[in-house]
Amino acid sequence: MIIIDRINIEKMILHILDSSVGIPALSEAEHPYSGDIIEFLEIHIEKVFNDINIKKAFFDTQENPVKNICMEIAENNDTFIEKTKEFAQLMYDIMAENASIPPCDLICSLFNGDGKKYLGFFILNYKSSYIHYVEESEDKRINKVIKQKTTLPNINQKIDECIIIDLEDFSILLKEKKYEINGQKEYYISKYLLQSKDTLSDKEKIDIVNKVSKKIVQDYYEDDVKKIAEIKNAIVESVEETDTIDIDHIKTKAFNENLELQNIYEEEIERRGLKEKTIEVNEPMYKKIPKTQKFVTDDGIEIKVPISLLTGDDKIEFFNNTDGTISILLKSIKEIQGK
């Protein structure tokens, strides 16, 4: 994830890619500039750079059609219109062969972010919404509510998919979704359009740590509530102390002197594709790290407890009863508020 403070739009163009029409509607000129549209794009670009679903990617080979397009635009801005049309056609050809990929508007933009030049391809998948429609006849007017199927994400929503190319080193920031390709769900943008290799997004990294932690507790601690709390608390401690999720800190803190489990934990994380020992955490990512644990009983009783309180017995304690039920004891409560 990259924090960008200043964004300056140099060029933008809109191409319409609806495979149901039969051909793409490729624009022959840049999009007219207006304050509202520039603000719309700048806000969405800023959101993309702060999105924890964004991942880094790299072109797999030197001879790559999309990379060549980007290099030509970087060398000569005057090729922007024609080269974005080439990109749009490449994308449309893949869409035309795979009906599961939704129609979209493609905004291509050349922009500066904190002095660095980027080329962005923002895929605005159509969303359904409802609008009013006035139908006039000879003798009366009828106001109707109709479903509009080609509306775009508004300024408060996130863009589902996008590609941002750094025009200095041609590295890629990528956000994509899986669609059914040849009978199975695949990322078509990275595999077929960009032909790139990618790394994990911040969200995928957090998910791996959480899933492995849960699996280890299930397999070796019989879903012990306190043990999963110890792991989650170790994650929070690591972030607060170092601004990173430190795998060594977590495994040492959670599994103490059990070297075998420490190795199993680390190996399972690596097996799932996370090779880094430390994961940098910024504010948007920190908000996604769970700080509380929610419990729901079979009777529908819900309890949400700060993770730090679950690692000891000072505030809450769990008892396994002889009849197979569980009792929960809350301690030293000064005040209870109904919410």
Q: Is residue 45 part of a domain?
A: yes
Which residue, among 190, 187, 235, 177, has the nearest Cα to 211 in the 3D structure? Answer: 235
pTM of the entire structure? 0.74
Kindly give the parts of the chain with pLDDT less than 70.
Answer: 1-5, 128, 148-156
292 shares a domain with 179: no
Distance CA(193)–CA(177), nearest Å, equals: 13
Q: Is residue 259 part of a domain?
A: yes
Contact 177, 161 (CB under 8 A): yes
270 shares a domain with 304: yes
149: Cα separation from own chain's centroid: 24
Q: Is residue 337 part of a domain?
A: no
209 shares a domain with 72: no
Consecutive H or E run containing 246: strand 244-246
194 shares a domain with 322: no
Q: Is residue 147 part of a domain?
A: no
Q: What pLDDT score does 4 carry?
A: 63
Distance CA(68)–CA(86), nearest Å, equals: 11
100 shares a domain with 84: yes
296 shares a domain with 193: no
SS3 322: coil
Contact 170, 59 (CB under 8 A): yes
Q: Where do we find the tokens 């719309």?
A: 40
List Cβ neighbours of 123 (8 Å cut-off, separation of 6 or more): 104, 106, 159, 160, 161, 162, 163
Please, which residues bridge with residue 15 across strands?
106
Q: Is residue 77 part of a domain?
A: yes
11 shares a domain with 90: yes
Side chain identity, residue 166: D
Tokens of 64: 């790559």
Torsion from C-alpha of 241, 246, 248, 251, nearest 10 degrees? 90
Domain that holds residue 273: 203-330
**What are the backbone dihedrals phi and psi of residue 76, each rounded to the nearest 5 degrees, phi first?**
-150, 105
Buried b (16+ CB within 10 A) or exposed e, 305-325: bebebbbeeeebeeeeeeeee
SS3 162: strand
Tokens of 246: 């430190």
31 shares a domain with 165: yes
Contact 123, 102 (CB under 8 A): no
Q: What pLDDT score does 164 carry?
A: 96
Cα–Cα distances in angstroms (integers) from residue 198 to residues 143, 171, 285, in the given order: 50, 10, 19
216 shares a domain with 75: no
- Other beta carbons less than 10 A from residue 116's beta carbon: 13
Q: Is residue 336 part of a domain?
A: no
191 shares a domain with 55: yes
CA-based torsion, 130, 132, 136, 140: positive or negative: positive
Q: What pLDDT score does 77 carry?
A: 93
Cα–Cα distances in angstroms (integers) from residue 37 to residues 45, 78, 107, 111, in the given order: 12, 22, 11, 14
Distance CA(318)–CA(234), nearest Å, equals: 21
Which residue, among 192, 207, 10, 222, has the nearest Cα to 119 in the 3D structure? Answer: 10
- How many domains in the chain? 2
244 shares a domain with 112: no
Using left for φ > 0, alpha for ψ between -120 and 50, and beta otherwise, residue 36 falls in alpha
What's the residue count for the chain?
Answer: 339
171 shares a domain with 258: no
Q: Is residue 1 part of a domain?
A: no
Boundary residue ending a domain (140, 164, 199):
199
Distance CA(308)–CA(102), nearest Å, equals: 44
Cα–Cα distances in angstroms (integers) from residue 261 to residues 27, 32, 160, in the given order: 58, 60, 39
